[in-house]
Amino acid sequence: MLRALYARVLLLAATPYALPTMAGVAVIEATFPFVPPDLMLMPMVLARRERAWFYAGVCTAGSVTGGMIGYAIGFFLASVATRILALSGHAHALGAFQAWFAYWGPAVILIKGLLPVPYMLVTLASGLAHFSFPVFVALSIVTRGGRFFLEAALLQHPKAKAVIDRYFYALAAAGVVLIITAFVLLRLLGAG
């Protein structure tokens, strides 16, 4: 069933609707609990490797735009931001963000932006904490762009699709383990 879903996503990634869908997902994911845009970016790059950099750029632009919206919600509509965080099970995200910021400084945005955790935690908490907006945007470009362009670079390799097809279930299992490990570590460190 998982492999059939993968095949279907690859077919959808080659349609004209894939690009605006990926951009929309990137915007939404940075503000509300939603699927990560990587799930659109990856099959799109696999379907059309020659457009990998373009796709990564669109994904980055959408994510940073969504991040700015999330920041604005946190900054100007604190009650809405705290409600979104509470509804998504992250009611204490602001306190965790502030503790991490006290320890790591601005690097917390880089760390959280690269990890497989909801980016909305960073965007809303940054706005709630009244973190410097220009620094937030710059770090968001670096961290989200770094993540999406790295994915595009790896998936652009001519043998990437063959490797994924051959080791599909092992890679899927490794992805689940990575996500669970990241969440457990963040919970243990009090940052989730």
**What contacts 79, CB < 8 A, 6 or more positions away?**
none
Q: What mean pLDDT, rounded, does the chain reach?
A: 84
pLDDT at 190 over 60: no
Question: Between 3 and 190, whose confidence is greater?
Answer: 3
Range scoring the smallest mean pLDDT among 65-74, 111-120, 181-190:
181-190
pLDDT at 188 over 80: no
Written as six digits, the tokens of 152 are 């595009």
Identify the residue whose tokens are 């709630």. 128
**Percent of the chain with pLDDT strictly greater than 70:** 90
Range scoring the smallest mean pLDDT among 79-88, 130-139, 168-177:
168-177
Most confident region among 19-33, 64-78, 122-136, 178-192 by mean pLDDT = 64-78
- Reference 96, options 108, 87, 107; nearest CA is 108
Q: Cβ distance 122 to 109 under 8 Å?
A: yes
